[in-house]
Amino acid sequence: MKLRQQIKLKQKVILTQSLKQQINLLPLPSKIIREKALDLFEELIEEAKSPKKKFQLNLFLDSFSSNDQTKELSEDKDLRDHLMQQLNETVKYGFKHLIGEYIIDSIDDSGKLNPEIDFNDLKNLIYEEYNVKISKSDIKESINNIQLMNPIGCGFRTTLETLLFQLKNLDLNKKEEEKIKKELLALWKSKIKFSMLPLQSQNIIKKLNPEPGWVIGSNQDIYIKPEIKFHNTKNGWTSTLIDSGISDSLIRELKSNLANIKDKDKRDAGKAFLYGIEARNNSLLLISQIIANNQKDFLNKKIPFLKPLILSDIAAELKIHQSTISRIVTNKYVQLPGKVILLKSLLSKGLGKKLNGKQVSVDELKASILKIIKNETPRKFLSDKNISQILNKDYGLIIARRTITKYRLRLNIPSSTSRKLKQITLPA
């Protein structure tokens, strides 16, 4: 009985090690998988002390040249999502939180506050939701809080405003701050040239960012290689693994070397690593196929928007935890005809239900809002409440007014009042 318990415990430990290895490998891109596999191979051949094996390692290294890599932009993080996360952490849900939401949704990718923002629209929205009349000081307080968030200085109306705000929040004494402020204002009014400033002042001013929002998701080029490819076949879109991170020949060599390792712990760790890679790649292939199946109409260009599909939907279908799905799709790229995109960019949140029970995606809602506003007449500019009513009546879609406001702002479309006054040309 005691022996049986010991065996079970030992099996549990091995399984736990294997599971941990699996979990750790899930979010890693193929490049890192490759590096880890080669590190393990090098460790094993060091123990074997074989010159022949050393030579083979070099062959493996040479086989993974960077010539077949694709130049792409790094994964973009959405500035507004970044600011919203901080808002959720610092402000309780209520009318002040809604003010913050409205302002954040009116900030563009550079961090600038939309000059067309309609605070009367905001006041009406707050009154409708919370029966509270807000003042200019409430709005000013919220803007100031957002400007203090990371990256500091977002929510500015002018470039000079954000530069002065950032300067104020540098670790400078009052005398030094005043000096730099005068120099900055002189530069702004073109009274002096930057080269004329003292070196210390130049270094401080260089720390200021005229467009702080671009810090999030910096647009530096990196080289990536897609791991998945979507093929359009007679039977629909098929997902294929094109970069597993490890070649079949390297797997064979690792297995061969592991068999000769005397240390059982090392041998088990190596086996767990190989099993983890296999499980990672199989899971990635399976999940990407589910995504391809769900978004076939978008991929076929039958519809201009993604269908609702979130991590929990995939988790429910596969009967595994949502966090596992999240780890697998993180930093994974897919090759489509003519372009490479992030796999998770093919996911889309559902916002509400149509009368037939089907979910509606963010993309679909945006497209519907834009279509409705494009069809409005000069005699009748539609308020967000009007749009909500049209969506309900003509589209069978129940969406709250505040949700309409949120995504109208995301589309950079001013309020009905502003559109009426300025006859704004809408985005294509």
Q: Are residues 164 and 245 in the same domain?
A: no
| pLDDT confidence of residue 23 | 64
pLDDT value, residue 322: 83
Strand partners, 223: 71
Structural domains of the chain, count: 3
Report whether pLDDT(362) > 90.
no
**Residues 85, 211: one domain?**
yes
**What's the mean pLDDT in 116-138?**
83
C-alpha 88, offset from chain centre: 17
pLDDT at 390 over 50: yes
Q: What is the mean pLDDT of residues 145-151?
A: 91
Closest CA to 288 of 234, 249, 325, 247: 325
**pTM, to two decimals:** 0.53
- Tell me, yes or no, whether 229 and 314 share the same domain: yes
CA separation for the pair 280, 32 (Å, rounded)? 13
pLDDT for the residue numbered 141: 92
Task: Output 120 or 314, whichever has higher pLDDT.
Answer: 314
Asked whether residue 256 falls in the same domain as residue 303, the answer is yes
The answer to whether residues 142 and 101 touch, using CB atoms and an 8 Å cutoff, is: no
Residues 295 and 392 in one domain: no
Report pLDDT digits (tens) over 226-244. 889 999 998 899 999 887 7
DSSP string, 291-324: HHHHTHHHHTTSSSSPPPB-HHHHHHHHTS-HHH
Domain span including residue 399: 350-422
* Residues 244, 361 within the same domain: no
CA distance 397 to 360: 8
